[in-house]
């Protein structure tokens, strides 16, 4: 069976640290796939906030997720401290990819728990249509 492989960029310009809550666990006692996406959603929002953006307003354009790929490397459990590094790359006229490296603290070091890529499209929620990536956002974010 073929497995998904997410190739991460060499450089990450943003990271945040989160703690796994009891409500993040599924019936298996670990973080499930839905929560993995919720963790990167939080990291993406913090990443956008550093530029003064949100998913609903990036220089007038909103963002909508077109696809997601997750490569699981390690279980996350209650109380784990995770660091999520975020980078935007692969921009085209209508969107770009956001990459996430999820690491979990193990003693004094960090081990990769997952690699994620989300494909984000610029979207006008009022007109309900895709729009071009705003030039000012391209300059501000500095895509890899």
Per-residue model confidence as pLDDT tens for the chain (144 residues): 999 999 999 999 999 999 999 999 999 999 999 999 999 999 999 999 999 999 999 999 999 999 999 999 999 999 999 999 999 999 999 999 999 999 999 999 999 999 999 999 999 999 999 999 999 999 999 886
- CA–centroid distance for 26 within its chain: 21
Contact 45, 98 (CB under 8 A): no
- CA–centroid distance for 16 within its chain: 11
94's CB contacts (< 8 A; 6+ apart) are 121, 122, 130, 131, 132, 133
What gap in Å lies between CA 43 and CA 74, rounded to an integer?
Answer: 19
pTM of the model: 0.95
Domains defined for the chain, CATH in brackets: 14-141 (3.10.129.10)
What gap in Å lies between CA 114 and CA 112, rounded to an integer?
Answer: 6
Give phi and psi for 137, each to the nearest 5. Answer: -65, -40
């Amino acid at each position: 069976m073929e497995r998904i492989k997410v190739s991460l960029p060499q450089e990450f310009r943003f990271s945040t640290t989160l703690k796994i809550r009891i409500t993040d666990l599924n019936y298996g006692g670990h973080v499930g796939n839905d929560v993995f996406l919720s963790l990167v959603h939080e990291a993406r929002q913090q990443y956008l906030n550093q530029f003064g953006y949100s998913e609903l307003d990036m220089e007038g354009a909103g963002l909508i997720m077109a696809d997601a790929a997750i490569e699981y490397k390690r279980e996350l459990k209650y109380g784990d401290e995770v660091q999520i590094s975020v980078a935007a790359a692969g921009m085209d006229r209508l969107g770009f990819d956001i990459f996430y490296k999820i690491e979990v603290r193990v003693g004094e070091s960090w081990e990769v728990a997952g690699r994620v890529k989300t494909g984000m499209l610029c979207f006008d929620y009022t007109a309900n249509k895709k729009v071009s990536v705003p030039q000012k956002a391209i300059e501000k974010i500095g895509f890899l």
